[in-house]
Amino acid sequence: MPRLYYFLTLLLNLAVTVFCADKYSREDFPPGFVFGAATSAYQVEGAANEDGRTPSVWDTFTHGGADVAADQYHRYKEDVKLMAETGLEGYRFSISWSRLIPNGRGPVNPKGVQYYNNLINELLSHGIQAHVSLFNYDHPQSLEDEYGGWISRKMVKDFTNYADVCFREFGDRVSTWSTINEPNIFSVAGYGQGVTPPGRCSPPFGLFNCSKGNSSYEPYLAAYHILLAHASTVRLYKNKYQDKQHGHIGISLFTFWLLPLTNSTEDLAATERAKDFFFGWFMNPLAFGDYPETMKKCVGLRLPVLTKEESKLVKGAFDFLGVIHYTTVYVQDNSQSVKLETGDFYTDMAVNIFLGEDDPYAIFLKELPIRPWGLQGVLEHIKQTYGNPPVYIHENGQVTPHNSSLEDTTRVEYLHAYIGSLLDAIRNGSDTRGYFVWSFLDLFEIVGHGFESTYGLYFVDVEDSNLTRKPKQSAHWYSNFLKDSNASSDKTIQLDREILPSSHQEH
């Protein structure tokens, strides 16, 4: 990469940070804005084989690695008390489909209903809003065994029926529902690379040795069925429940902010193409009724066609968009990879993505570079491209080694920078209505090798049978920010330690 471009990039990034809010308080955010923290069922609940719960594809994928997790199933009262003491205004959690409906369809598990009722009621009794995700990588293994899960259209009906149970049992107390968590990553990683549940892929594209799957086709097929299931669920909620329950429903997408590696015409075009693949894949159908033209051209016949009726069903099927954002990446053109017959998602997209290491998942195993302007970029893109819909930041946080010090200063720096950047985006017109730190507790992480790397505000001692929770410095910082409306958050931070992957810098 040219030395000149590196220094121009450095200067640009530093210039952008001048506009990031360095001093702010809770009172600077709009009325009704909610601050909270998030977890997901398999990563936090434990009790994997108790009270009628059956395995999900995540259990199978990790061979029961989170059978105990943080044991929130038994410790939810303790955890909700911690949330209240921290000052959380909302808690975002997911429901385990196989805990609620053990066979994926059919009889509902009363003990599953009781647990989520207890959790929701406990939250509300402490003044904490319940924000619920219906699905986070964990459909019942029984449906995977029966018909292949999301590669079958049967999932549309089964998922809608599962959602119906959730709305009926819990919807009178839930503020927002998100249907599918980061389906763009789930489709690619689970059905193209084999690195997340259900672990499907095919040579030569999978990162692991997958025993079944088709990396060229299944990610697009799974995404197609996810779009239909989401839209079907939204229609059900709006027609049957929303007027009585007064909640809102949307979907949560994973969003890198994407920048060209160089200022070449090719890298600039590649960056726009990557936005279409990572983000437009789902948002364009939801906003406009069809996939981006770029995707249709690059993927060809392997991209399932949305019929006129399906387009009508999908278009506009959201009250809000959930944004999951951790960092910014750099995009390099790789047009020679395009192979319409035998490609996978990444060769179809025809780009190289630089996250900071050669291993595309390594960045989630170490501290993330603090690039808060990327969150502003994402929110500005949503505002400009999709008509400024309501947005919730559903996940944002910093990773550290699990056994690191409770003095997690880099997480404090990260949260301070990104919340300040969020405030700037709101002041610039973004209709963002909430922010949830990932994660409330140290969790069993899917790309963090279990408890090897964690994001929690609270340390969980997995070596202790009591699974003791201990507040980190970040928990104290977040609590002080939330509780003291007059406190100014003015910690000086270095906003970007690593402008580009070290292997691509010139010295």
Catalytic (active-site) positions: 182, 395
Exposure string for 134-152, b = 16+ CB within 10 A, e = fewer: bbbbbbbbbbbeeebbbbb
| Phi-psi map region of 83: left, alpha, beta (phi>0 left; psi -120 to 50 alpha) | alpha
Neighbours of 117 (CB within 10 A): 13
Collect all residues with Cβ–Cβ distance below 8 Å to 60 and sequence separation of at least 6: 141, 144, 197, 198
CB 313 within 8 A of CB 228: yes
Cβ atoms 150, 197 nearer than 8 A: no
Q: In terms of C-beta distances under 8 Å and separation of at least 24 residues, what long-range contacts does 201-210 make, across chains too?
A: 205/344, 205/346, 205/347
Tell me if residue 134 falls in helix, strand or coil: strand
90 φ/ψ sector (left φ>0, alpha ψ -120 to 50, else beta): beta
Q: What is the dihedral of CA 11, 325, 183, 224, to 10 degrees?
A: -40
Burial of 4 (0-12, 13-18, 19+ CB in 10 A): exposed
C-alpha atoms less than 13 angstroms from C-alpha of 344 in its C-beta half-sphere? 22
Determine contact, residues 53/148, Cβ cutoff 8 Å. no
336: alpha, beta or left? (left if phi > 0; alpha if psi -120 to 50): alpha
- Report the distance separating Cα 105 and Cα 93, nearest Å: 22
291 vs 308: CA distance, rounded Å: 13
